[in-house]
Amino acid sequence: MNKNYQKVIFSAIIVIILMIWNFNYSYIYLIGFMIAMLFIVYDTNRYYQQQINFYKREKENEIREVEGEKDFNHKILNSLIKTMNLPMIFINCKGTIIFTNQSFRDAFNIKHLRGKYYKDIFTDQLLNIVDQSYIFERKFSTAVCIDERYYQIETTPVFRDDVAFDGSIILFTDVTQVKEIEKMQKQFFSDISHELKTPMSAIIGSVEILQKEGIKNKDTFNEFMGILLKESYRMQNIIGDILELSRLEQPQATLSPALVDIDSLIKDTVELFEPLAKDKQLSLVYQTKIKEELMLDYTTVKTILNNLVSNAIKYSNAGVISIKCNYKDDNLIIVVQDEGVGISKDNIPFIFDRFFQVDRSRSKKLGTGLGLSIVKKMVELNNGTIDVESTPGIGTTFTVTLPIL
């Protein structure tokens, strides 16, 4: 009951008391009329008060729902920001750091940034990027190198009511791997061009000489035809290895598990390379204690054996090349050992790189420079390991461990 209504009731009661005090029959109708009016006023006030309370409760419920929805959305937004993998930071219109997520703190190993001025934290390169967002109040994106890692940085200005500049959200996407792949691709195509250029030059040179001299001199003809055939085979091998390496580097590269007779496979490898080994006065010996068939990828085992034996022959002038296979703890262990020129400690970290050659004069005669790269990729595809031990002038030992599939 409101105060105005209370005053009306109080005044009416006083009037009625005075009328009764000075009782006169002429007042009876007036008193009845006033009592009726009091009831009408009371009912009307109660009705409107109920309506007011009803609408008040509705509005309060609507406000609670809106606030609850805002709180829920705020919690979802905070949860998404905190758990997102991309490092993120929010800076308000005054340049004060308001928020950083866990990914940002982990990536840059910086803590307790909230409330600090961004110009006191960021380096010159990053500072210029953030300044771009502040000065021009527009979206800005560029790639920068921070602590030897590459980041694609995007700054997005935030506007309150689409008018007032309220700050900037800055996202950091680590693109180091992409940059490394781009660098590898450039190097790869450069190496391919160089490697194919050598046999192509020999082929073109031989054809030009044959074109000039014709086939009058049979010895000259046979000599240059031999060069053509050898360099053509070399180009074929380079292209084949490039295609194989490209296949292994594809995300969808798969294995084909099958039962493999290791003993027979090693014998086939020895028979394949024995003529080449004899030409260099090398002895090929093998030893295996595996009699049963093992579940492996046949192509993987065959390619690894062929490339390691070929590499051993390439870098050996005399002595013995031994091939050993063993089965231990659900792993196939392949050991290829030679008594060749060996590899220096400085070169060992690079021997699995594409086209890396310890001695280019030897590689040009026998290989493509991709054999060990293919071996490394195949071992990784099988979740295996490969280890190298080498001493210059004494020899090299490769040990490959492949899990049974």
User: Could you state, in order of their start, the residue ranges of all structural domains in the chain?
Assistant: 3-79, 84-174, 178-253, 254-405
- The CATH topology of domain 178-253 is Helix Hairpins (1.10.287)
Of 358, 362, 360, 338, which Cα lies nearest the Cα of 348?
358
Among 246, 253, 248, smallest CA distance to 185 is for 246
Confidence band for 4, pLDDT divided at 50, 70 and 90: low
Residue 384 and residue 403 in contact, taking contact as beta carbons nearer than 8 Å: yes
Q: What are the backbone dihedrals phi and psi of residue 57, each rounded to the nearest 5 degrees, phi first?
A: -65, -40
- What radius of gyration do the chain's Cα atoms show? 43
The mean-pLDDT minimum among 233-242, 279-288, 368-377 falls in 233-242
Confidence of residue 291 (pLDDT cuts 50, 70, 90): confident
Residue 28: CA atoms inside 13 Å, Cβ hemisphere, count? 3
Model pLDDT, residue 191: 65
β-sheet with 395-403: strand ranges across:
282-288, 319-328, 331-337, 395-403, 385-391
At the fourth CATH level, the homologous superfamily of domain 84-174 is: PAS domain (3.30.450.20)
SS3 111: coil
DSSP state of 141: E
- At 324, the pLDDT band (50, 70, 90 cuts) reads very high
CATH number for the domain whose boundaries are 254-405 = 3.30.565.10
Q: Decide if pLDDT at 299 tops 80.
A: yes
CB 323 within 8 A of CB 266: yes
Tokens of 145: 């190198």
Burial of 320 (0-12, 13-18, 19+ CB in 10 A): middle
pLDDT tens for 378-387 read 898 889 999 9
Tens digit of pLDDT for each residue in 194-206?
666 667 777 777 7
Beta strands, E only, 178-265: 257-260
For residues 183 and 175, the answer to whether their CB atoms sit within 8 Å is: no
Amino acid at 170: I
| pLDDT band at 364; cut points 50, 70, 90 | very low
Distance from C-alpha of 183 to C-alpha of 186, rounded to nearest angstrom: 5
Residue 337: its pLDDT value, please?
93
Round to whole Å and give the CA distance between 264 and 199. Answer: 35
Query: What tokens were used for 9?
Result: 């009731």
For 46, the token pair is 């109660």
Pick from 387, 392, 276, 253: which is nearest to 331 by CA?
387
Give the three-class secondary structure for 172: strand
pLDDT at residue 251 greater than cutoff 80: no
* Residues linked to residue 181 through DSSP beta bridges, in sequence order: none
